[in-house]
Chains A and B, each alone.
Chain A
Amino acid sequence: MSVSVLKPGLLSSLQDAGRAGHAALGVGRAGAMDGPAWQLANALVGNTRGEAAIECTLVGPSLRFEQAAVIALTGAAIAAHVGDRPVPMWTCCRLPAGSVLRLGGMARGSRAYLAVRGGFDVAPVLGSRSSDLHARLGHLQGRALCAGDELPLGAAEPLPGLAAGEAVQPLHWGIDPRPWFDFGGRPLALLPGSHGHLLDQASQQLLHGATFVLGKDSNRTASRLDGHTLRLREPLELVSEATLPGTLQLPPSGRPIALLAEAPVTGGYPRIGQIAAVDLPHLAQRRPGDAVCFRCSTLDEALTRLAARQRRLGRLIEAIAQRLEHA
């Protein structure tokens, strides 16, 4: 069983929870940019083992399913068709053998997830099936999908609620995407960074009040923020230390950089803030040209929000699993 890539889309890659635990070897985590959307895509097809899904960026791929498959789409609002038939998001859908799933542009957001029941049966590298595009780790040496690629699928039991047939068949229910997909430009919570207090006064005000614009050269490594130049009161030479996704760095150009899923494991730029982990998926869904602004937050608030989101997500995944079983 496999999926053939007919058209690759703009940047499509296999991603899972990421490659934790190897930063001391110079290996970053990579993984899905919008973690909850990836988790919910898996939940909707009944995957329970952190299977890899295809992360699509701005324009999705066209894929041919040799055998019938059960899929789910989450994340950014992506156009999806088999023939003329639209394929709904945030639910699960059976595609008959030979289906060509055409994923197009995104009306909102920038990253969508396609999970397939049974997952993609590719060998994990250092415990993960995520593609690290920069370090070239993962299936296909970590590169993005290309036309002609064949992705093997894992075996899976049929889903009780979806009978075999010649037509595309979605479940009669789905989940409400609103809590999991931020359509608005609401401010991202920013925790204090080690060197934030060294910004000059005007820059401190800009950081917490001004609206930045997501740069065109943003990618899985970092979001680059345009619109305002920030300055430290005096230049700062730092010794390289470990870096993290969510860190807002200030290189000498004065143009802030927010590190994302493929953050390098070490770096030496001043850190002017840390974006709350719960808000990173919201940043990952912004498109080049979208507004980005920050509000002051605290570690306490960030931990509380993170724990609350994990509880809600856990409850929803549990409820989906029960509903799939009794479908």
Chain B
Amino acid sequence: MAHGIQFEALAEDALLLRFGERIDIELNARVQAAAARLRRRLPQLECVPAYASVLLRFDPACWNGHGGSDPHRRLQDAVNAVLGEGGEIPATPRERIIPVCYGGEYGPDLADAAAHCGLTVDALIDRHTAAGYRVAMLGFAPGFPYLLGLDPQLAMPRRRDPRQRVPAGSVAIGGSQTGIYPEALPGGWQLIGRTPLRLFDAAASPPSLLAAGDRVRFQAIGEDRFRQLAAADPR
């Protein structure tokens, strides 16, 4: 197969496309490009991108051949045809700036995190805001982005005792990943700051501020600006 995808029939209504077995920004970019193409050409499918795979969910009754033959095989052929098409260039990813108030009550683990990394608090903030991130996938909770691109020096273990309630908007580091809690949730990542933006609102269109494939940058803001933005339109 030219595009090197493994197909796996996971369930009656589900076909997994696996692009690799690593967390890797280039691999994930291929995943996002394939997901974008499949959504455009096969809009009747539900398309769920992850780090290194895309899950397709479909109605098996619509993909039955004559005599009820293998719907997964027919879907796989259709996917291969779509992904084999040349020409189209995937859309340029959106870039989102996420304002973050670092430290203090907004990021109670910031000082410990900086000490763990052997950095000053300011140096940690500089490194966290300097990097460009990509949303690899949404999961864990509605609108929760798993971000690729964390400076390796900022990697740190999760907390020994997860918090029962992490405030909505918390920006956190867990292992070699960084993410943002869209809602108040239990969580074990180290909290370094908080954004006033609302990441998920079921009544909004689209409901999630971020989508897989988006580019993200963090921008440090002060407490006054945090309160100002939080009081204004949270989007």
Contact = CB atoms under 8 A, between A and B. Distances in A.
B232 interface: no
Contacts of A238: 21
A21 B202 contact: no
Nearest to B56: A242
Contact of A266 (B14, B139, B200, B207): B139
Interface residues of B, number: 47
Contact of B14 (A239, A244, A306, A310): A244
Contacts of B183: 136
Interface string A292-306: 000000011011101
A162 interface: no
A277 B138 contact: no
A191 interface: yes
B187 interface: no
Given A125-B202, A240-B139, A265-B139, A24 B12 contact: no
Nearest to B9: A299
A152 interface: no
Given A25-B142, A26-B138, A264-B140, A239 B50 contact: yes
B16 A241 contact: yes
A22 B23 CA distance: 23
B138 A25 contact: yes
A27 B142 contact: yes
Nearest to A24: B48
Contacts of B14: 244
Nearest to A193: B10
B47 interface: yes
Contacts of A265: 48, 138-139
A274 interface: yes
B125 to A, nearest CB: 27
B142 A242 contact: no
A168 to B, nearest CB: 38
Contacts of A96: none
A303 B141 contact: no
Given A136-B183, A191-B11, A299-B9, A310 B140 contact: no
Contact of A239 (B21, B57, B200): B21
Contacts of A302: 12
B96 to A, nearest CB: 15
A242 B48 contact: yes
A126 interface: yes
B140 A242 contact: no
B124 interface: no
Q: Which 3 A-B pairs have the closest CB atoms?
A: A266-B139, A242-B55, A26-B138
21 contacts: A22-B142, A23-B48, A23-B55, A25-B142, A26-B141, A126-B202, A239-B21, A239-B22, A239-B50, A239-B53, A242-B48, A242-B53, A242-B55, A244-B55, A274-B10, A274-B11, A302-B12, A303-B12, A304-B68, A306-B12, A310-B61
Interface of A: 20-27, 125-126, 135-137, 191, 194, 238-242, 244, 246-247, 264-266, 271, 274, 276-277, 299-300, 302-304, 306-307, 310
